[in-house]
Amino acid sequence: MSLEDAKRQIDHAFTREDLKGPSFENVFAGATSFLRRRYTKDLAGIDIAVTGLPFDQAVTNRPGTRLGPRAIREASQLQPCDAPYGWGFDVLSEFAIADYGDMAFDYAMPSEVPERIRAHVAGILGQGAACIALGGDHSVTLGCLRAHAGKHGPLSVIQFDAHTDTWADDDFARVDHGTFLYKAAKEGTVVPERSVQIGIRTDNPDPLGFHILDAPFVHDNGPAVVAQRVKEIVGDAPCYVTFDIDALDPAFAPGTGTPVWGGLASHQAAAILRGIAGVNMVGGDVVEVSPPFDSAAITAVAGAHVATALLCLWAYARRG
């Protein structure tokens, strides 16, 4: 069946008529939407929309994540012919998923971007779809959090990261990928005491009450213990999952702006994501994939798998 389909399918991002099911289009050909889903701004009948937020003007070190959404989409072409491994169901066949394209913005007005993101994501949520975002640097998550909190109320956060991103910054006009969570906590968008950060391996003197399961904890205790602890912290509260690709060790994700050694292996991240299935995830993102520093698209491939896992994590609690 797949061989015959591969002979006929091309540019599935525009030509596919069905909203569900695999795609057997040749990996090396055609338009590169995320997982070969249909590009559309009309989300009627769509369960989950994937959108790109190609902004990287808030980085402290190496730029390049503005190219992340494009690279993640291209890397995702390796996946749409099979059900995501280990989840026990095929999210591509059971749920209608669309690629909403990227957000437009004025690159010369970076101070306007957080509100642009909030409005962009709120527009997706307002059409009745869930939203998974592809960054961009980690500052893009603030607008996403605000949009989701506008619909669901104050959120729990499950953050995979090498850095806490809670450095003090009371100037809310600044846009900084290292302070977005500080601002989200201070304004009441997120609830630190029911939020958790996984893979941390940089110092921050004030964690603001966020629970931290740092990288050594993951290595010493294993993914199953980590996942159970995450579920205990978050409970059934609406939660947002943000995955900074630098949560992975640079061996698994070299293409990022602020790599830190001693991070998670890709198999650990995959197991934790599967292990927290059942949390009340309302949205999520994968950020900080920087193609200029990415050898053989290693980081983009990891980012595409994370984004697919986020689709599965959202869908898991909504099956049936």
Please count the other Cβ atoms lying within 10 Å of the Cβ belonging to residue 88.
Answer: 12
DSSP H or E segment with residue 134:
strand 130-135
What distance lies between CA 62 and its chain's CA centroid?
A: 20
One pLDDT digit (tens) per residue for the chain, 320 residues: 576 787 888 899 999 989 999 999 899 999 999 999 999 999 999 999 999 999 999 999 899 999 999 999 999 999 999 999 999 999 999 999 999 999 999 999 999 999 999 999 999 999 999 999 999 999 999 999 999 999 999 999 999 999 999 988 888 888 888 789 999 999 999 999 999 999 999 998 888 999 999 999 999 999 999 999 999 999 999 999 999 999 999 999 999 999 999 999 999 999 999 999 999 999 999 999 999 999 999 999 999 999 999 999 999 999 97
Tell whether 163 is in a known binding site.
yes
The DSSP code sequence of 208-258 is TT-EEE-HHHHHHH-HHHHHHHHHHHHTTS-EEEEEEGGGB-TTT---SSS
**What's the confidence (pLDDT) of residue 3?**
67
**What's the confidence (pLDDT) of residue 267?**
98
**What's the confidence (pLDDT) of residue 296?**
95
Say if strands 48-53 and 97-102 run parallel, antiparallel, or are unpaired: parallel
**What's the confidence (pLDDT) of residue 1?**
58
Tell whether 294 is in a known binding site.
no
Tell whether 285 is in a known binding site.
no
Tell whether 171 is in a known binding site.
no
The whole-model pTM stands at 0.96
Within the chain, what is the greatest distance between any pair of CA atoms? 59
User: What does the DSSP 8-state code read for residue 187?
Assistant: T
Q: Which residues pair with 284 in a beta bridge?
A: 132, 241
**What's the confidence (pLDDT) of residue 108?**
95
Contacting residues for 51 by C-beta, under 8 A, at least 6 apart: 99, 100, 101, 102, 103, 120, 121, 124, 131, 132, 133, 134
**What's the confidence (pLDDT) of residue 104?**
96
Domains located in the chain, CATH noted = 2-316 (3.40.800.10)
**What's the confidence (pLDDT) of residue 256?**
97
Cα Rg of the chain (Å, integer): 18
Q: Where are the alpha helices (DSSP H) in the chain?
A: 2-8, 12-15, 68-75, 91-94, 113-126, 140-152, 180-186, 215-221, 223-234, 266-275, 298-316
Tell whether 165 is in a known binding site.
yes
Tell whether 169 is in a known binding site.
no
Q: What's the CA gap between 208 and 168, in Å, rounded?
A: 10
